[in-house]
């Protein structure tokens, strides 16, 4: 296996991220990432885990890539999804969290009546989704639409965006974000 720094740099470049992009995603200073990539310093386990998570991989995958034929099942039951939302009025359940070198964030989103995604967010990615149930008001930049079951969206995530359940029943969206932000 190549040195840790070279391996991180290769993963970062494969995802077309700059050092500053990775720093913003991981919460690790860009100068620290630069030193790690040049093998001038060794990261702590927590720092390495934060960087790898931002690159869509795990410590296990990072250290075993190219050294094992460990099979990861391509199938996930509902109970295998990992909750990354607040679970009360809004649930984001992530599919494929343990997939090695994950390059897409796939979500099963549930918005209770009146729930919203909060303040308008923007980040470097693209998002797409389909409303499976209910009615969701989607705002991207200055544009707003109410989408119902079967309707969808696709946009560059650098535009500030929000989601809000404006219907009288629970709303469900299946969505994807790439590159993954989790």
Out of 3.40.50.720, 1.10.1200.10, 3.60.150.10, 1.10.260.40, which CATH number does the structure's domain 4-64 have?
Answer: 1.10.260.40
What residue spans in the chain does CATH classification 1.10.260.40 cover?
A: 4-64
Compute the distance between CA of residue 113 and CA of residue 123 in angstroms, rounded to an integer: 26
Instruction: Report the alpha-carbon distance of residue 146 to residue 148 in Å, rounded.
Output: 7
DSSP 89-142: SEEEEEE-TT-TT---EEEEEEE-TT-B--S-B--SSEEEEEEEESEEEEEETT
* Residue 129 structure tokens: 């989704």
**Rg of the chain, C-alpha, whole Å:** 18
- In CATH terms, the fold of domain 78-178 is Jelly Rolls (2.60.120)
Span 124-178, pLDDT tens digits: 889 999 999 999 999 999 999 999 999 999 999 999 999 999 999 999 999 999 8
What pLDDT, in 10s, does the model give residues 59-117?
766 765 544 444 578 888 888 887 776 667 888 888 887 677 778 889 999 999 999 98
């Amino acid at each position: 296996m190549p040195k840790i720094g070279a391996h991180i740099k290769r993963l970062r470049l494969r995802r077309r991220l700059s050092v500053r992009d990775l720093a913003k995603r991981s919460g690790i200073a860009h100068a620290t990432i630069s030193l790690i990539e040049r093998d001038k310093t060794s990261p702590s386990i927590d720092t390495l885990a934060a960087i790898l998570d931002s690159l869509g991989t795990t410590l296990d995958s990072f250290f075993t890539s190219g050294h094992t034929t460990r099979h990861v099942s391509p199938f996930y039951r509902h109970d295998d999804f990992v909750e990354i939302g607040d679970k009360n009025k809004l649930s984001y359940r992530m599919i494929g969290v343990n997939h090695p070198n994950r390059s897409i964030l796939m979500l099963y989103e549930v918005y209770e009546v009146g729930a919203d995604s909060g303040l308008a967010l923007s980040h470097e990615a693209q998002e797409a989704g389909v409303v499976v149930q209910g009615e969701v008001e989607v705002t991207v930049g200055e544009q707003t639409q109410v989408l119902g079951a079967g309707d969808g969206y696709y946009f560059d995530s650098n535009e500030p965006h929000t989601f809000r359940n404006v219907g009288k029943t629970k709303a469900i969206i299946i969505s994807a974000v790439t590159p993954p932000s989790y």
